[in-house]
């Protein structure tokens, strides 16, 4: 797991997180930004105004913000990530209710994996929200699942080949010591892996005997996300 700088500047961190959300997810309102960051609307407005000033964001006539010239990606890219996040969140909440562990969705962004949605469980000892975090792709459950689907990346790698065959991944301490995550792929209409859906827990609560139940529950949630995205059942 990445170690934060010793003298982190909160306003800079907030601005970078907003830029990332705009780039990957598309349109956001001041209220949505404030809720995601856990700040007042006035603070969110000031941060957005600075991003607009520096061309990282633009505001349209509806007073909605989107990625500016510096960040602009192909329109379908941001839209698809936003749709995935919106579709996943209710299923993450249900997973947390069922399994009482934190749940996440992550995507691959080149050599890194990014968590685009996260719902924490309410247990005192728990894995916190991963939303917005970026790790080397091979250190996350989503990254392992997506690497396993890539013929180039998985060639000759016995662990990735096993993940592809079994349809799930178990990540024991790769991204953070003392944390275990179990995940399954979420697939697009063409059958390719679009994202990784996972639950994360302190290693002291992980019981290997529960793995079949965890995987089955995750797979049902993944099918639900796919259905909400308009992917036909396979």
Residues 6+ apart with CB under 8 A from 57: 18, 19, 22, 48, 51, 65, 66, 67, 68, 71
Residue whose C-alpha is closest to residue 92's, from 21, 186, 18, 171: 186
pLDDT band for position 6 (cuts 50, 70, 90): low
Contact 22, 56 (CB under 8 A): yes
Residue whose C-alpha is closest to residue 176's, from 119, 207, 135: 135
Give the pLDDT mean for 165-173: 96
pLDDT of res. 7 = 55
pLDDT of res. 4 = 62
Straight-line distance from the first to the last Cα atom of the chain, in angstroms, rounded to the nearest whole number: 35
Mean of pLDDT over the chain: 90
Question: Is 122 strand, coil or helix?
Answer: coil
Give the pLDDT mean for 31-46: 94
Give the pLDDT mean for 129-139: 89
Look up the pTM and report it. 0.73
Q: Residue 193: pLDDT above 80?
A: yes
Q: Residue 21: pLDDT above 90?
A: no
Residue appearing with tokens 């934060």: 4
Contact 178, 209 (CB under 8 A): no
Structure tokens at 91: 């299923």
pLDDT of res. 233 = 80
For the stretch 195-218, pLDDT in tens is 999 999 999 999 999 999 999 999
**140-144-149-151 Cα dihedral, nearest 10 degrees:** 120
pLDDT of res. 76 = 45
Question: What one-character DSSP code corresponds to residue 209?
Answer: G
Residues 6+ apart with CB under 8 A from 145: 163, 168, 169, 183, 184, 185, 193, 196
pLDDT of res. 2 = 54
For the stretch 101-124, pLDDT in tens is 999 999 998 888 989 999 999 999
Residue ranges of domains in the chain: 10-67, 76-228
CATH of domain 76-228: 3.30.450.40
Q: Which CATH architecture has domain 10-67?
A: Orthogonal Bundle (1.10)
Residue whose C-alpha is closest to residue 194's, from 230, 162, 159: 230
CA distance 184 to 170: 9
Length in residues, the chain: 234
């Amino acid at each position: 797991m990445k170690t934060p700088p010793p003298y982190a500047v909160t306003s800079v961190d907030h601005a970078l997180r907003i830029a990332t959300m705009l780039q990957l997810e598309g349109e956001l309102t001041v209220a949505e930004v404030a809720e995601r960051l856990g700040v007042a609307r006035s603070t969110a407005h000031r941060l957005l105004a600075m991003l607009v000033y520096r061309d990282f964001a633009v505001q349209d006539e509806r007073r909605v913000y989107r990625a500016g010239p510096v960040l602009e990606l192909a329109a379908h890219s941001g839209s698809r990530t936003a749709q995935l996040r919106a579709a996943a969140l209710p299923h993450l909440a249900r997973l947390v209710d069922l399994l009482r562990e934190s749940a996440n969705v992550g995507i691959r962004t080149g050599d890194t994996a990014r968590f685009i949605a996260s719902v924490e469980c309410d247990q005192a000892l728990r894995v916190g929200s991963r939303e917005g975090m970026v790790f080397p792709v091979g250190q996350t459950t989503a990254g392992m699942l997506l690497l396993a689907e890539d013929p180039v990346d998985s060639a000759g790698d016995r662990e990735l080949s096993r993940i592809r065959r079994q349809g799930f991944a178990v990540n024991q301490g790769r991204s953070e010591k003392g944390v275990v995550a179990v995940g399954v792929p979420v697939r697009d209409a063409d059958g390719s892996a679009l994202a990784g859906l996972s639950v994360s827990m302190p290693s002291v609560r992980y019981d290997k005997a529960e793995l079949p139940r965890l995987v089955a529950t995750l797979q049902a949630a993944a099918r639900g996300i796919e259905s909400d995205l308009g992917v036909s059942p396979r």
